[in-house]
Amino acid sequence: MSIELSEQEIIRRESLKEIINLGIDPYPAALYEVNARSEEIHKKFPEDNSLFQEISMAGRIMSRRIMGSASFAEIQDEAGRMQLYFNRDEVCPGEDKTLYNTLFKRLLDIGDIIGVKGYVFYTKMGEITVHVKEFTLLSKSLKPLPIVKEKDGVVYDAFSDPEQRYRQRYVDLIVNPQVRETFKKRTQLTNSMRSFLNEKGYLEVETPILQPIYGGAAARPFKTHHNSLDVTLYMRIANELYLKRLIVGGFDGVYEFSKDFRNEGMDRFHNPEFTQMELYVAYKDYEWMMNLVEEMVEKIAIDTNGTTELKVGENLINFQRPWKRYTMYEAIQHFTGIDVSEMDEAQMAETAKKLGVEINPTMGRGKLIDEIFGETCEPKLIQPTFITDYPVEMSPLAKKHRSKAGLVERFEAICNGKEICNSFSELNDPIDQRKRFESQLELGKRGDEEAMVLDEDFLRAIEYGMPPTAGLGIGIDRLAMVMTNSNSIQDVLLFPQMRPEKKAAVLSDDDFLAIGVPAEWIPALRKAGINDVTLLKAANPNKLFNDLCGMRKKLKMEVAPPTLDMVKAWIG
């Protein structure tokens, strides 16, 4: 990336100066009245042509077709585009045609934001168009936008480079309307979920993101430090333990949309920060929670897409209740034909090897089952499916199964081959909970970096007594991927985490002047790639001298060539 402005950027800056010289403020402070939007006009005008005869609307210029005294342009507002018709003699009723000839035709560009007043009519071509009577520049754009064109559903020159789309999401949002739709849908999703939960009377709460002890999930945390307390704090990996404290405190149902942070790998399913909705309801169990999840997700599908049947990638997924239910052992048996339910750790490890599942010595029996399941079953579960009854070893916060030894009352919902939620009857036996934490500590000693740590305050809380409680964590990003048919988590995060953009250390004109470089040589030096002091200091004076002579020709500079001594003096 050059710090040089491109030709088009220079032209726009010059236009900006001319606009100011015309006495026009390119960034006016006053509000601009908007009483009509493109979507509304397109919808209502065909039904009643007497509407919209005195409108005022605003948006970004996305295309222009200029032909002398008449011109067409399109502006884009949040919901869509509207064609504008400009006629020179209507925009400039007097003798002075500057506003049209100079401002509109020459000094405005694609990307500028304008406001227009006028009336809606049909053109000869039958397109709904705003006949502009007056227009106002609201913001001059200095960077050219990628121009995406579309005809009959075919998109030309799409702005598609993922790096640029994610790093400059604002550009992505301007030129790719389907991206705006995705994020609107994501918000519809959370709105739908929130209203569902509120209608049930559950209380939305906020709990700490900075936690002295991270807990509630198996994951590596981000670590930070609080200066005045001089303590280590962790960014939360889950909010489970806090929400359960609130159940102890007497709330019957609490939930939180929680940004969680996990210091792990990134790929199309994982971002270091992601959103979960966690819900805890007193006096309920996991069977009850399964029904709630079905009901809630079905409603979300209808609220966001108008149907329970969604095309996601190659698959047609139907969220209509009831969903299929398998126990974990049943699922493994179903997909591999092997009954692992009675196996001990050694037999399990043997089976895993036979199935081609990679294992390592830190894995206990529970982890082994999880690996086998994850490898052989999860990717094959396309339709929403509940997997129930997990091994106790991998669920230190879940209640022991009421009838099956060695298992806990837990379920996950799998959809499109990925987990979308996780839930259990919460463990409320403080003695058992302490033991479970202790065995996690053992796993930690065996080298499991994700083993949970013991949270004394949480234990103290449940020692006061926590009602039987059903808990749920549902991945909002994963759910949003499904609901918006997105292939990557980055497509449902407005600002996905990216490696930092590398920035050249830039020398300002003043820096160059301070070193003794005459102003006229600064562009040439920049062109030669000398953008920071170290580069200049490290340059070979002879080479730089030659380069500059070359640049002088190339840039058609009307100054005397540099001398070698001059260049040596800059380098010092």
Partner RNA sequence: GAUUAUGUAGCUCAGUAGGUAGAGCACAUCCCUUUUAAGGAUGGGGUCCUGGGUUCGAAUCCCAGCAUGAUCACCA
Site for RNA in 396-415 (CB under 7 A): 397, 412
Pairing of strands 80-87, 128-139: parallel
Name the minimum Å distance from CB 386 to RNA. Answer: 14
Could you give phi then psi for residue 108, rounded to 5 degrees? -90, 155
Residues 209-248 that bind RNA (CB under 7 A): 217-219
**89 binds RNA, rule: CB under 7 A:** no
The closest alpha carbon to 243, from 271, 223, 273, 217, belongs to: 217
Query: Looking at 70, 312, 343, 533, which residue binds RNA (CB under 7 A)?
Result: 70
**351 binds RNA, rule: CB under 7 A:** no
The closest alpha carbon to 209, from 198, 195, 222, belongs to: 222
Nearer to RNA, 102 or 136 (CB): 102
Nearer to RNA, 130 or 248 (CB): 130
**6 binds RNA, rule: CB under 7 A:** yes
Give the Cα separation of 387 and 412 in Å (integer).
Answer: 5
Q: CA geometry: angle at 382 spanning 377 and 385, to 5°?
A: 75
Q: Give the list of residues 6+ apart from residue 188 with CB closer than 8 angstroms, or none.
A: 303, 304
Tokens found for residue 410: 């837990």
Q: Are 380 and 335 in contact (CB under 8 A)?
A: yes
Query: Looking at 48, 124, 225, 560, which residue binds RNA (CB under 7 A)?
Result: 124
Residues 432-471 that bind RNA (CB under 7 A): 450
Nearer to RNA, 270 or 302 (CB): 270
Query: Sign of the CA dihedral 25, 29, 35, 38?
Result: positive
Cα-Cα-Cα-Cα torsion 33, 36, 38, 40, nearest 10 degrees, comes to: 160
**29 binds RNA, rule: CB under 7 A:** no
Could you give phi then psi for residue 211, rounded to 5 degrees? -125, 135
**16 binds RNA, rule: CB under 7 A:** no
Give the Cα separation of 348 and 340 in Å (integer).
Answer: 7
Site string for RNA, 496-535 (x = CB under 7 A): --xx--x--------------------------x-x----
Query: Looking at 130, 373, 490, 512, which residue binds RNA (CB under 7 A)?
Result: 490
Nearer to RNA, 87 or 190 (CB): 87
Query: Looking at 94, 153, 201, 265, which residue binds RNA (CB under 7 A)?
Result: 265
**102 binds RNA, rule: CB under 7 A:** no
**157 binds RNA, rule: CB under 7 A:** yes
- HEC per residue, 279-319: EEEECCCHHHHHHHHHHHHHHHHHHHHCCCEEEECCEEEEC
Give the Cα separation of 138 and 112 in Å (integer).
Answer: 8
**191 binds RNA, rule: CB under 7 A:** no
- The CA radius of gyration of the chain, in Å to the nearest whole number, is 32
Nearer to RNA, 264 or 285 (CB): 264
Tracing tokens 């039987």 back to the chain, one arrives at 468
**315 binds RNA, rule: CB under 7 A:** no
**249 binds RNA, rule: CB under 7 A:** no
Tracing tokens 């497509």 back to the chain, one arrives at 491
Residues 528-567 that bind RNA (CB under 7 A): 529, 531
Query: Looking at 33, 54, 89, 163, which residue binds RNA (CB under 7 A)?
Result: 163
Query: Looking at 29, 30, 48, 68, which residue binds RNA (CB under 7 A)?
Result: 68
User: What are the beta bridge partners of residue 132?
Assistant: 118
Nearer to RNA, 8 or 195 (CB): 8
Give the Cα separation of 518 and 571 in Å (integer).
Answer: 13
Nearer to RNA, 252 or 432 (CB): 432
**314 binds RNA, rule: CB under 7 A:** no
**65 binds RNA, rule: CB under 7 A:** yes
Nearer to RNA, 402 or 499 (CB): 499
Give the Cα separation of 127 and 271 in Å (integer).
Answer: 44
**166 binds RNA, rule: CB under 7 A:** yes
Query: Looking at 151, 225, 402, 503, which residue binds RNA (CB under 7 A)?
Result: 151
**110 binds RNA, rule: CB under 7 A:** yes
**369 binds RNA, rule: CB under 7 A:** no
Query: Looking at 43, 106, 334, 354, which residue binds RNA (CB under 7 A)?
Result: 106
Under rule CB under 7 A, how many of the chain's residues touch RNA?
73
Q: What share of the chain is helix, strand, coil (3-state, %, to 5)?
A: 40, 25, 40
Q: For residue 468, which amino acid is it?
A: P
**109 binds RNA, rule: CB under 7 A:** yes
Name the minimum Å distance from CB 67 to RNA. Answer: 2
Name the minimum Å distance from CB 423 to RNA. Answer: 9
Q: For residue 510, which amino acid is it?
A: D
Q: Are 165 and 159 in contact (CB under 8 A)?
A: yes
**393 binds RNA, rule: CB under 7 A:** no
**494 binds RNA, rule: CB under 7 A:** no
Give the Cα separation of 191 and 256 in Å (integer).
Answer: 13
Name the minimum Å distance from CB 450 to RNA. Answer: 5
**358 binds RNA, rule: CB under 7 A:** yes
Which of these ranges, 123-131, 186-194, 242-250, 436-444, lies near RNA under the rule CB under 7 A?
123-131
